[in-house]
Every structure is written in structure tokens, then in C-alpha cells.
């Protein structure tokens, strides 16, 4: 296949998905919040609302802005060309720091070989950027700048983004009713400032994962004093999947709210697939480099070497991967601790390293070369996601010796990484019953010196395959409340198969609602505004607004329309759940209206002698029915 | 339509559903655990498992018994005839107590009128039982017997049922790995005894809702020292639904695990529908009598009277309703507390009573006649479910003055009910952010003297219409862990429309998994056995067992088969998530096998000099691939 043909194929395959995966959310438009620099423009999605119609007149409801992860795909003004990739919006910031240099080409052996390989030419992304790297002796991580007291444009961007137009929401009264959070020692400010962001990154409590070779990404932050983030995994395994399909999953994920994505592909053409993904990703991209390294040695763990792994790190760092899962905590002495487990080792990376350690009877090369790894990461600003290779894969194995031995090691490694100013987050479980969840968070904060925690669930029970997005959302909401900074989603297909597009949507929305529940509980200053706006719409029978303010307007509308499809029903003061006679909200309005008409609030009304009013209410017919001609 | 024709219609309509809604669970059979009396036979579903095949040989896995709510519908030996209703298995127990008498017919005015009404003859259940009532001056509640020190057959039944064949599970080693619970002051025993059950009922900490006119029901218990229960609501509203459809929803609910059901119908023919439901319900049935009372006064709240309400209570008690939601805590002085709320009053019963109180400027007739209500309830053993008419309908309104004022009143009423030996549970919210959930439980236990709490969710955020089974499962799992005894399910259609059959299944399975997560966290002595059995099956690649031990075997299998449909794939040592190369469980088995072959456990192995073994492992080819010819 010629390159032209391949490009055309990708474009054709993606044109259809474009129309679908980037279809606008109802009543929504893209807005940008302007920072101090003209090129700091933070995207939000603004949802137009209809007015409140009451007996006292009509009152406008200003449009509601929401955090938006969809990048240029959510902006109808931006023309998307997947073959060229997204605009490099951070390129100027990176260049102006003057601490990096453009290379002439990939410096990894594998990268060079693949750049010229004819057998993959038809799959190759054509508009590869020249990779950049730190100048000799320079460290180019956000942590490095933060510790030097520098506020980068990325940090300013993040501060604006985290505030979520809080001032507007407050001015509209949407935060008047706001419950204080219970933050378990977290320290969420009432307003995010660039200086607060800088300080959190400098302290290692938060990371801003933005590889200098991924200038297409929009800055976001992962830390327990910020909005809880979610990650979506995709990538093919034994089942082949075209590059276009993977790119589609990426766009689909950011549409529904994924803050980062991980490309976990293990099949052929990982290198080429990744290039397409990174060039088109508006969010940070994570990988597990060990998977590709294993492919390079034909799937035989004992054949893995530091040299192959090292080359893979450089290859991927120069493509622009923003964080690497590295299972450097799976040490030789910990492996025997897993043999009596109910479910052994359930992490792919963990089991590969365990097999390597046993086969060689040697300490893990990841552990032994950890400082070498740091040297690579700091030259591109790739963040560590220190993998929990010994996480429990069942309720029975939760919080066991192996798990916590590894966690302690991850803490040691965190310290080493921080000596190099490399950003770190820590991966966590897994399967944990509720009464043992908090211990995971507490131990992580202690062992890893407040480095951000990034957990998979945890699943609060093992007994519901097919529903593990829910068993895990129960655990995820709790651990995020206790302090987890980012949640890795779980789809309904967990333990059973590969998620399809619907599963990805189901998993992301489930995790977004869990993350939001945690934001409410911790007391994120902007969180409750959306609940308040949606509930106000619900109480005022503004059906469309209720749908549109939700995380998945399309599904809400579809479910409503399943029983009451007519347009008039979206103005009706009842729904099919209770019907017009029994609508408590309708009656509740009558009660409130009754009080308002008398020009008294109800409390005064009671004291002023309610009997008289009771007569008036009866005279109005104690209207409980809605006289709706459509019913 | 003639009666014969109507009966034939119901039978035809239900024959199809019978085949579908009662289709056997895979690899399952009905067993009965025998009590001390021959007529105490407690049903369980026993799941056959396949053997563990290891290099050391083959080992059988005994069948696994699970709690079963499906009643006779889960027993293929029982011939179901919906037109005749279920067998009256408790009739003998009720009769032999000698404290009740058979009436000659319904004693409510409405019941008598409906018994002879020609216009509903075609809908009427033909095999109505003669209602029973306590003999003059007798109290026939389980609480009354418990307080007199009597252990009823119902209590023995419940003790056996709660143990869930614990001794068998323990003997099989399925409870060897068991985490201690964190019970927040609850007192779960290591074994349930009839005396323990009696004591809990006597103290009011648990209820055993079994109306003497519902002898078809299988005893179950609701209390925080027992397995967490779930309730499924159904019933039609403005949308008409045939009686057969309601009966189908009942059977469908008990199939998936509903411990009780509530018939919330508000349409025509409530009386007739209810008769069909109760006669065919193997689980306790709850209702909100106010809904029917309101229908009797044509939907005008102000026209409600104590007399109409009283007659409705008697009518429903004589049909066999096991618990009544009574909103007697919505008192006149509390109504003004709701006018500044974001979502006012969201309980149907609460808003009806608020409208009545305002219209008459009078204290609620439910509150004023509470002792009269107790007199009725004790003559049939109907339990109170004291309704939370002022529960919060949004995050903003959580834990407010109105809510807690009502809760305190419910506590006062609990005391009064207990003076009459009437069983009581307390309904709870609603919409509550996570950090405010525990306060709900703590306040309930204090205000209501440890009476069982029965909550709707709570939803931990308002922003995900279409996913409210999940937003609420997050709150439900937590509040059940803190002590809620029964969870009222929420379906994906909450706030949007009436649930269909699929929604009911989704809601029930979601709530069953949330309840189970809470059982694990509280430390129910039998809970973890199922997680352990399922995880063992998962680790041993016993795919069918993994599906079958789950809450929804059909969905698990369907999801698995979506990517790997062939039969051989259900014996494969991998799944489509990671494929054969990257299966951590496979590698983990190699690691374990490696240790076993050397006749050492891994810990010794390490010390004994792992180098030698490392050589052996390499010699075996460090098998990580599975050589699967199908792949």
C-alpha cells in the first residue's frame, strides 16, 4: 500500500468517526479562559440553559461552564486533520525556555530503524516531529522549574483550569449552598493560583505530565489538592485492531472526560500506533514500556535486558509519551510472598518482572538501573507512574505483605526520582474490601511522602464480573475521597474481554461521576456548582437543562424519551415515574407558591396564622393535578 | 371479559415470562437446608463447579451454595400456577399459634366493595384467601413473640438462612483467608442462632416482616447485624401496565436477588393488582397506603381523611402486605423548613401530606392517629417503614433541618410502635455527598434507638442522570457498611422514567453487589466465601465457574464471548484483555509451579539458593506463552 493510499485510508476511516465521536454536546459551545499571556487559553465547554419560568416572571439562567478534556476536538472552529496531527500549542513555551535542543532524528536504535523501515511505511505517521531533548546537563521537568521558583505557562494554565470559572459560578449564586468537605489532611484552596500549583509540584504532591515531545497536549495536573482525574486505557492485544480504531478510542475517551489515556497496545506496530496516538492526543499519554520491550525479545521475559529496555524508554520519550509505568518495585525477595496468594500476581508488568527475576535469580534490572532511568526521564520530562506489580487481584489478597513491601520500595524510588527532579506518581490497587481501602491511602501517603496516588478502582468485591465498573467505582469514589489523585477506569468488560466503544463510554462516565463524588466530599471549591445547577433545573422541570448539565446528556434524554418521547413532555411538570398526580416536585411547588403569594415566607406564614391561608390554598383548589392536555 | 378468559390471559401472558424469568441459572440446582422442624426448609441455590486441574493432579471443587430469594420460582420441582398463587408455606405456623382467627371476608369497606364489584371481575384474583386477624386483644407480631421469649419457626428459618451454609464453606477452606470486618458498633456473630434472631427482634434492632395474611412468603430479616438486604420497587403510574406485567416484574426481581419488593402502583385497579402480587410473592411486599388512599379521593390531598386512610390500611393488611410506608413524620411545623430548599419535598408521600397539612392548617392525621395505626398493624403483623417524607432530593439539601427534624419525630413514633410490639424500620435518604453519609447513619441509630435503617441510595452526586444506579450504589455501599439494614434499589431510569425489565435487573444486580461489598466490610461471617471461590476459579482459568459464581452469569458469559466466543476459549489460559503472551495469571502460575516442582515453598527456595533453580526455570523455557493451537 502506498503512503498516499494509507493516508487516505486513515482519513476515510476517521472521517466517519469524526462526525460521530466529535458530535457536539447539546446546547454547548467552546469557550476559552484567557491567562496573563495571550497564548494561555484554557478551554471549557459552556452549556446554554433555558430561563426559569415562574409565576413571578421569567428569570434567565446564565450558561454553565464545565471542565473540558476534549481538546481541539471540542472546538468546531478547529479543523481536525488526523493525518497531520493536532496543533503544537505548547511548542513555543518549550522552545522559549532555551534548555532543550532539536535533534536531527530519533536517538534510539529502534526509533531510527523504524523511521526507515519499508515494511511499515504504509502505517507510518508522516508528519513526525523532530524530537527534542534537554541540552547536556539540563533538567527540563516541571518539577525542576517549580523547585527553582519558576511559574511556567503550564502552571498558570492549570491554575485557571482547576478553578473551573469558579468566580462566575459564585456570582450566580450556584455555590451559596455548599457543604464543607472532609479532606483527610488534603489542603484544597478556595482559589487556585499559579503559585499554589508551583508549590504543589515542587513538593512532589502533584505532577504536571507534559513531555516536551508532546506539545499537542493541554496542561493538566494530578494531585490530591486538585480535581480528581481519571484515566482511560485502550490498546489492542491479541486481537488486531487498526490504527484508525485506536485513534478513534482516543478521541472518544477525551470526549467523555478522560484526563489522560494509556496506550497499552501489545500487538504488532506498537511504535507506529503510538505515533498516531500521541500526535493526535490533547491529553497526556501514558504507556508501559515493558510491554514493547517484551515484544522486542519475542515475548520471552528472560531475554529482556536493560539495553533493550533503555532503548525503548528513549524511543517512547522521543515520541512524546508523558508518563511511563515502571514496575521497579517488583524485587526478587518479594516474589515468594506471592506464592500463597489466592490470585498470585495479576499485574502484567509485575508478572513479567517476576519471571525475569526468577529466571536469572537476580534483582530486577529496573530496580538496579533506576537512576539511569531517571536520567532519561528528566531529559524529556517524562513522569514516573511507579507500577504496583504486586497489587492484589482479589479481595483475599488485599493489603498483604507483598503489596506493602512493594509500596515501601516505591517510596524509596520516589525519593531517588525526586533527587533528579523527576515527577512521580504511585500506582495502587486493585481489589480491596471497603474496610481496608483507607489503609492503602494512608500507607501510600506515608511511604511515598505524599506523592500522588493513582489507583485502579479498587474493586470492593470480586463477585460481579460484568459489573466491575460499578464494584470498582464504589472503591474508587472512596479512595479518591481519602486522597487518590487519579483513578484508572475499569469497564464492564474487566476480567472478561476487551472493551468496545460503548464500554469505554460506560467506564469513563462511571469514573467521572465517582471522581466528582470525591471532589464534593473533599470539598473542591467548584465541585458543587454543577450539582446545584442540575438540581435547580430538575426542580424547575427544565428537562433539557437537566439532561444537558449531566455527564451524559444523550443517555439521559434517551432514557426520558423511552416513556415520554413527545417534545411537549420536555416541558411537562412531571415525568413517567410518578405521573402528573403524584409528582412531589409539582406539589412542592404549589406549597412554595402558596407561601410566596401571601408575600410571606412559610416560617412567618405559620406564625402569622396559617388557618387563613389554609382557606386560601383550598380556594385555589389545592392544585395537585397538573391539567396537562397531553396526558 | 369472562373470568375464565381473564385467567387464561394471565396464564398465557405469564407462560412466556415463566420460561424466561424463571430460566434456571447455569449449573445450578435448588437445595433445602433442614431445620429442627420438618417444615422449616430453607432454600439455597447450589452452583456446581468444575475441578481444578493442575500439574499435581485434579482436585474437585464442591458445589457452592448461595442465598436465594427466588422462592418456588427457583425450584424446578414446584409447578407454578400464577392463577392459584404460591403454596402457603407458613400457614401452619400461623394457625398453630392459636392467636388468630379466620374472618368470613374482608373487614374493610373497600375490600368488601371490591370483592363483589362486577366491573373488575375479569381482573380479580380468584383464589383469594380468607383473611385472618388477631383474636380480640391479641398481638401477633414477631416482636411480640420475641419479647415473650418465644422462638418462632420464622426465627429459626432466618437463622439458618443467614448462616448461608457457613459450616460447609468453612470446611472447604473458603473462609480461611477472611479479613476482619469494621462494624461501627454493629454486632455480627460468628454463627446465627435462633436465639440471636429472637433477641435482635425483641430489641427492635431487626424486623421479620411477615404478615399473617401472606403465608406464601419466606421468612427473611432486616437488621444491621444480618446480611444487608435490598428492595426492588415496581408498580405502574400514569402509563398503564397490565397485571401480568407487574407479576412478571415481581418474579424477575426475586430472580436477581430482591429480598423484598414494594408495589408502588398508583394507577387503576391497585387493589386487584396487589392481590395478584401478594399471592405470588415469595418475598415480603411493602406498599405506601397513602397512594391508594389518594386515589380513593380522586387525587385531591385535602380530601384525604383518617377514615379513608384507616380503611385502606385494613384492606391492605388483609390482603397480606408485609410493611407499610407511613409518612407520619411530616408534621405541620416542619413544612416551612423546606421552602428554601433547592429541591423542596421530593417524596410523593411527603408532598401529599404537606399539601394536606397546609390546606387544613392542621397537624398530620397520620401523626395524630399513630396509636390507632399501631392497633391495626399489630393485629396482622404489618411492620412500619416510617417514611422520610422530607428526605433531601439534592446534594444541596442533604442533612438539613427539615430532614433531621423529621428523623427525630420518627424516633418518637418508633417508641410508640414498640409499646405496641409493632415492628419498625426507618426510611432514609436520598441525595447525600459522601462526607455527610455517616452522620445520617449515626443520627438514625441515636434518634431511633437502633431501629433498622432502610435507605434509598443515597446518591453521592446529582450530576449523572442515566447513571443513578451507580451514583447511588456508591452511597448505598457506604451507608450499608455504616449500618443500614436494607437498601432500596435505584435503576438507571431514576429521575427520567419508569424502569423496564432490563433496568430492574441492572438495578438489582448493582444493589446486590453494593450490599455484598458492605457485608464484606462489616464482617458478615459468610460473605467472603463467594469472593474467594470466584477468585480461585478466576486464577485457575475455570471460566464457566467464574461466570456462574458471579451475580449475573449470563452477562459475564455474554461479555466474555463478545471477543472469544469459541468453546475452547472457555478452557484457555488467557482472555482477550491481555492475550496469551501477556497473561499475568499464566505467568504467575509458572512462577508458582516452578517453586512447587522443586518441592520447596518459594521462601525456602530463595534462601536455599535460587540461582540453581533459576537455571532450571530457564531450562523449561521460561514458559510465558501458552501454546494454544486455537490462537
How does pLDDT run across A463-493, given as a tens digit for each residue?
A: 999 999 999 999 999 999 999 999 999 999 9
Query: What does the alpha-carbon distance between residue B606 and residue B620 come to, in Å, rounded to a whole number?
Result: 19
A52 located within any domain: no
Nearest CB partner across the interface for B535, out of A239, A462, A582:
A462
**What domain range includes position A587?**
573-630
Q: Do B496 and A539 touch, CB atoms closer than 8 A?
A: no
Judged by CB atoms closer than 8 Å, whether chains meet at B498 and A577 is answered as yes
Of the residues A470, A490, A510, the one at which a domain ends:
A490
What pLDDT is attached to residue B580? 63
A463 located within any domain: yes
What pLDDT is attached to residue A184? 97
Chain A contact set for B399 (CB, 8 A): 179
What pLDDT is attached to residue B619? 52
Q: Are residues B270 and B388 in the same domain?
A: yes
Chain A contact set for B569 (CB, 8 A): none
Query: What does the alpha-carbon distance between residue A272 and residue A281 come to, in Å, rounded to a whole number?
Result: 14
What pLDDT is attached to residue B622? 44
Give chain B's residues under pLDDT 50: 1, 238-239, 599-600, 602-613, 616, 620-631
Chain B contact set for A344 (CB, 8 A): 539, 584-585, 588-589, 591-592
Q: Do A314 and A111 touch, CB atoms closer than 8 A?
A: yes
Nearest CB partner across the interface for A492, out of B477, B531, B559:
B559
Element (H, E) at A522: helix A501-522
Query: What does the alpha-carbon distance between residue A217 and residue A212 come to, in Å, rounded to a whole number?
Result: 10
Query: What does the alpha-carbon distance between residue B272 and residue B19 come to, in Å, rounded to a whole number?
Result: 24
Chain B contact set for A266 (CB, 8 A): 578-579, 581-582
Closest CA to A141 of A322, A309, A268, A369: A322
State the distance between the two ends of chain B, measured CA to CA, in whole angstroms.
Answer: 61
Which of A217-226, A565-574, B558-567, B612-621 shows the lowest per-residue confidence on average (mean pLDDT)? B612-621
What pLDDT is attached to residue A242? 78
Judged by CB atoms closer than 8 Å, whether chains meet at B344 and A462 is answered as no
Judged by CB atoms closer than 8 Å, whether chains meet at B302 and A622 is answered as yes
Judged by CB atoms closer than 8 Å, whether chains meet at B532 and A613 is answered as no
CA angle B164, B165, B170 (to 5 degrees): 115
Q: Are residues A472 and A364 in the same domain?
A: yes
Judged by CB atoms closer than 8 Å, whether chains meet at A396 and B528 is answered as yes
Which value, in Å, is the radius of gyration of the alpha carbons in chain A?
Answer: 26
B607 located within any domain: yes
pLDDT in tens, A269-311: 899 999 999 999 999 999 999 999 999 999 999 999 999 999 9
How many separate domains does chain A show? 2
- Residue A108 CA: distances (Å) to CA of A102, A113, A455, B535: 15, 9, 31, 42
**Number of helices (H), then strands (E), in chain A:** 24, 17
- Distance of residue A573 Cα from the nearest chain B Cα, in angstroms: 12
Nearest CA in chain B to A611: B361
B217 located within any domain: no
Mean pLDDT, range A405-423, rounded to an integer? 98
Query: What does the alpha-carbon distance between residue B288 and residue B310 come to, in Å, rounded to a whole number?
Result: 13
Of the residues B461, B490, B519, the one at which a domain ends:
B490
The DSSP string of B522-534 is HT-TTTHHHHHHH
Count of C-beta atoms within a 10 Å radius of residue A326: 29
Specify the CATH number for the domain of residue B250.
3.20.20.540
SS3 of B45, please? strand
All 3 cell numbers of residue A301?
521475559
Q: Are strands A206-207 and A222-223 parallel, antiparallel or unpaired?
A: antiparallel
- Distance of residue A516 Cα from the nearest chain B Cα, in angstroms: 7
A525 located within any domain: no
Residue A454, marked binder = yes
Query: What does the alpha-carbon distance between residue B210 and residue A265 come to, in Å, rounded to a whole number?
Result: 56
- Helix B348-360 and helix A610-619: axis angle, to 10°? 110
Query: What does the alpha-carbon distance between residue B296 and residue B312 come to, in Å, rounded to a whole number?
Result: 9
Chain B contact set for A465 (CB, 8 A): 534, 546-547, 550, 556, 559
What average pLDDT does chain A have? 90
Of the residues A474, A490, A506, the one at which a domain ends:
A490
- Residue A420 CA: distances (Å) to CA of A285, A375, A423: 22, 7, 9
Q: Are residues B453 and B597 in the same domain?
A: no
All 3 cell numbers of residue B378?
399489630
Residue A427, marked binder = yes
- B164: left (phi > 0), else alpha (psi -120 to 50), else beta? left
What stretches of A264-358 adopt beta strand conformation (E)? 285-287, 323-326
What pLDDT is attached to residue A627? 31
**Number of helices (H), then strands (E), in chain B:** 24, 17
Residue A294, marked binder = no
Chain B contact set for A179 (CB, 8 A): 395, 398-399, 433, 435-436
By percentage, how much of chain A surpasses pLDDT 70? Answer: 88
Query: What does the alpha-carbon distance between residue B131 and residue B319 come to, in Å, rounded to a whole number?
Result: 7
Interface test with chain B among A66, A183, A238, by most B beta carbons within 10 Å: A238
What pLDDT is attached to residue B610? 46
Q: Are strands A229-234 and A453-456 parallel, antiparallel or unpaired?
A: unpaired
Residues 6+ apart with CB under 8 A from B6: B122, B123, B124
- Distance of residue A369 Cα from the nearest chain B Cα, in angstroms: 21
Interface test with chain A among B176, B392, B505, B517, by most A beta carbons within 10 Å: B517
- Residue B6 CA: distances (Å) to CA of B2, B86, B206, B273, B337: 6, 19, 41, 13, 50
Q: Are residues B347 and B456 in the same domain?
A: yes
Element (H, E) at B599: none
Nearest CB partner across the interface for A460, out of B467, B517, B530:
B517
C-alpha dihedral sign at B560, B565, B571, B576: negative
What pLDDT is attached to residue A570? 75
Judged by CB atoms closer than 8 Å, whether chains meet at A579 and B239 is answered as yes
- Residue A162 CA: distances (Å) to CA of A75, A524, B206, B403, B433: 20, 9, 47, 33, 20
A558 located within any domain: no
B588 located within any domain: yes
pLDDT in tens, A351-368: 999 999 999 999 999 999
Element (H, E) at B37: none
Judged by CB atoms closer than 8 Å, whether chains meet at B470 and A471 is answered as no
Which value, in Å, is the radius of gyration of the alpha carbons in chain B?
Answer: 26
What pLDDT is attached to residue A622? 44
Mean pLDDT, range A598-623, rounded to an integer? 47
CA torsion A394-A396-A399-A402 (nearest 10°) is: -80
Nearest CB partner across the interface for B584, out of A351, A547, A624:
A351
Nearest CB partner across the interface for A562, out of B338, B497, B590:
B497
Label residue A623 by pLDDT band (50, 70, 90): very low
Q: Do A21 and A252 touch, CB atoms closer than 8 A?
A: yes
Nearest CB partner across the interface for A182, out of B302, B435, B492:
B435
Q: Do A450 and A483 touch, CB atoms closer than 8 A?
A: no
Residues 6+ apart with CB under 8 A from B16: none
Query: What does the alpha-carbon distance between residue B382 and residue B144 come to, in Å, rounded to a whole number?
Result: 12
Judged by CB atoms closer than 8 Å, whether chains meet at A614 and B360 is answered as yes
Q: Are strands B424-428 and B453-456 parallel, antiparallel or unpaired?
A: parallel
Judged by CB atoms closer than 8 Å, whether chains meet at B291 and A177 is answered as no
Bridge partners, A287 (sequence order) = A324
C-alpha dihedral sign at A5, A7, A13, A18: negative
What pLDDT is attached to residue B125? 87
Query: What does the alpha-carbon distance between residue A217 and residue A280 come to, in Å, rounded to a whole number?
Result: 9
Residue B148 burial by Cβ neighbours in a 10 Å radius (0-12, 13-18, 19+): exposed
Judged by CB atoms closer than 8 Å, whether chains meet at A558 and B523 is answered as no
Q: From the centroid of its chain, how far is CA A310?
A: 28
Nearest CB partner across the interface for B576, out of A239, A460, A585:
A239
Question: How is residue B108 annotated by DSSP?
Answer: S
Residue with cell 467505582: A473
- Write out the binding residues of B for [4Fe-4S] cluster: 575, 578, 583
Q: Are residues A485 and A598 in the same domain?
A: no
What pLDDT is attached to residue A239? 46
Judged by CB atoms closer than 8 Å, whether chains meet at A513 and B470 is answered as yes
Element (H, E) at B342: none
Q: Are residues A597 and A485 in the same domain?
A: no
Interface test with chain B among A185, A462, A475, A620, by most B beta carbons within 10 Å: A462
pLDDT in tens, A501-549: 899 999 999 999 999 999 999 999 999 999 999 999 999 999 999 999 9
Give the ipTM of the model, two decimals please: 0.93
Nearest CA in chain B to A357: B614
What pLDDT is attached to residue B427? 98
Query: What does the alpha-carbon distance between residue A324 and residue B538 come to, in Å, rounded to a whole number?
Result: 29
Higher-scoring residue by pLDDT: A13, B495: B495
Q: Do A298 and A360 touch, CB atoms closer than 8 A?
A: no
- Distance of residue B18 Cα from the nearest chain A Cα, in angstroms: 25
Judged by CB atoms closer than 8 Å, whether chains meet at A514 and B474 is answered as yes
DSSP H helices in A448-495 = 468-482
Chain B contact set for A397 (CB, 8 A): 177
Element (H, E) at B627: none
**pTM of the shown model:** 0.94
Q: Are residues A338 and A472 in the same domain?
A: yes
Bridge partners, B66 (sequence order) = B45
All 3 cell numbers of residue A631?
396526558
- Write out the binding residues of B for substrate: 233, 262, 291, 327, 347-349, 388-391, 427, 454
What pLDDT is attached to residue B10? 64
pLDDT in tens, A96-116: 999 999 999 999 999 999 998
What pLDDT is attached to residue A243? 82
Chain A contact set for B435 (CB, 8 A): 179-182, 481, 520-523
Question: How is residue B626 annotated by DSSP?
Answer: -
Residue A139, marked binder = no
- Distance of residue B2 Cα from the nearest chain A Cα, in angstroms: 30
Element (H, E) at B499: none
What pLDDT is attached to residue A378? 98
Q: Are residues A470 and A592 in the same domain?
A: no
What pLDDT is attached to residue A123? 83
Q: Are residues A335 and A244 in the same domain?
A: yes
B532 located within any domain: no
Element (H, E) at B29: strand B28-34
Amino acid at each position: 500500500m502506498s503512503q498516499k493510499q494509507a493516508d487516505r485510508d486513515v482519513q476515510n476511516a476517521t472521517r466517519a468517526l469524526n462526525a460521530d465521536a466529535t458530535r457536539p454536546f447539546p446546547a454547548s459551545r467552546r469557550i476559552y479562559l484567557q491567562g496573563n499571556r495571550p497564548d494561555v487559553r484554557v478551554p471549557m465547554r459552556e452549556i446554554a440553559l433555558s430561563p426559569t419560568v415562574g409565576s413571578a416572571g421569567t428569570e434567565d439562567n446564565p450558561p454553565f461552564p464545565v471542565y473540558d478534556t476534549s481538546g481541539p476536538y471540542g472546538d468546531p472552529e478547529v479543523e481536525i486533520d488526523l493525518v497531520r496531527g493536532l496543533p503544537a500549542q505548547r511548542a513555543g513555551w518549550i522552545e522559549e525556555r532555551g534548555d532543550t535542543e532539536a535533534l536531527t532524528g530519533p536517538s534510539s536504535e529502534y526509533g531510527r530503524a523504524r523511521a526507515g523501515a519499508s515494511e511499515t511505511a504504509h502505517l507510518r505517521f508522516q508528519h513526525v516531529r523532530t524530537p527534542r531533548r534537554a541540552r547536556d546537563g539540563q533538567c527540563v521537568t516541571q518539577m525542576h522549574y517549580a523547585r527553582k521558583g519558576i511559574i511556567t505557562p503550564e502552571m498558570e494554565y492549570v491554575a485557571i483550569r482547576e478553578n473551573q470559572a469558579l468566580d462566575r459560578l459564585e456570582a450566580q449564586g450556584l455555590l451559596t449552598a455548599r457543604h464543607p468537605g472532609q479532606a483527610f489532611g488534603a489542603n484544597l484552596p478556595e482559589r487556585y493560583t499559579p503559585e499554589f500549583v508551583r508549590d504543589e509540584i515542587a513538593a512532589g504532591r502533584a505532577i504536571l505530565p507534559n513531555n516536551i515531545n508532546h506539545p499537542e497536549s493541554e496542561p493538566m495536573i494530578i494531585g490530591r489538592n486538585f480535581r480528581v482525574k481519571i484515566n482511560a486505557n485502550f490498546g489492542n492485544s491479541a486481537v488486531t485492531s487498526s490504527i484508525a480504531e485506536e485513534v478513534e478510542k482516543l478521541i472518544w475517551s477525551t470526549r467523555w472526560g478522560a484526563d489522560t489515556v494509556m496506550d497499552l497496545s501489545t500487538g504488532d506496530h506498537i511504535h507506529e500506533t503510538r505515533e498516531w496516538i500521541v500526535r493526535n492526543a490533547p491529553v497526556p499519554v501514558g504507556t508501559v514500556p515493558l510491554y514493547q520491550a517484551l515484544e522486542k525479545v519475542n515475548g520471552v521475559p528472560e531475554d529482556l535486558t536493560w539495553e533493550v529496555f533503555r532503548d525503548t524508554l528513549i524511543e517512547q520519550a522521543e515520541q512524546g509519551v508523558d508518563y511511563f509505568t515502571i514496575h521497579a518495585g517488583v524485587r526478587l525477595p518479594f516474589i515468594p510472598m506471592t506464592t500463597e496468594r489466592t490470585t498470585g500476581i495479576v499485574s502484567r508488568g509485575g508478572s513479567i518482572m517476576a519471571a525475569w527475576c526468577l529466571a536469572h535469580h537476580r534483582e530486577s534490572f529496573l530496580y538496579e538501573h533506576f537512576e539511569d532511568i531517571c536520567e532519561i526521564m528528566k531529559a524529556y520530562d517524562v513522569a514516573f507512574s511507579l507500577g504496583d506489580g504486586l497489587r492484589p487481584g482479589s479481595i483475599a489478597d488485599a493489603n498483604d505483605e507483598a503489596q506493602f513491601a512493594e509500596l515501601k520500595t516505591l517510596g524509596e524510588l520516589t525519593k531517588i526520582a525526586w533527587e533528579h527532579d523527576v515527577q512521580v506518581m504511585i500506582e495502587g490497587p486493585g481489589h480491596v474490601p471497603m474496610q481496608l481501602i483507607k489503609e492503602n491511602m494512608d500507607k501510600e501517603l506515608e511511604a511515598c511522602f505524599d506523592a500522588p496516588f493513582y489507583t485502579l478502582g479498587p474493586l470492593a468485591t470480586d463477585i460481579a464480573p460484568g459489573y466491575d465498573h460499578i464494584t470498582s467505582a464504589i472503591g474508587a469514589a472512596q479512595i479518591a475521597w481519602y486522597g487518590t489523585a487519579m483513578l484508572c477506569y475499569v469497564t464492564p468488560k474487566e476480567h472478561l474481554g476487551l472493551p468496545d466503544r460503548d464500554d469505554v463510554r460506560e467506564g469513563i462516565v462511571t469514573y467521572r461521576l465517582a471522581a466528582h463524588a470525591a471532589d464534593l466530599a473533599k470539598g473542591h471549591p467548584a465541585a458543587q456548582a454543577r450539582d446545584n445547577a442540575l438540581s435547580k433545573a430538575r426542580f424547575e422541570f427544565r428537562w433539557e437543562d437537566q439532561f444537558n448539565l449531566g455527564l451524559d446528556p444523550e443517555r439521559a434524554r434517551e432514557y426520558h424519551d423511552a416513556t415520554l418521547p413527545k417534545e411537549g413532555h420536555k416541558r411537562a411538570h412531571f415525568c413517567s415515574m410518578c405521573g402528573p398526580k403524584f409528582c412531589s416536585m409539582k406539589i412542592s411547588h404549589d406549597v412554595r407558591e402558596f407561601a410566596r403569594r401571601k408575600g410571606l415566607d412559610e416560617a412567618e406564614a405559620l406564625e402569622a396564622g396559617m388557618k387563613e391561608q389554609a382557606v386560601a390554598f383550598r380556594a385555589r383548589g389545592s392544585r395537585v393535578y397538573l391539567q396537562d392536555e397531553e396526558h
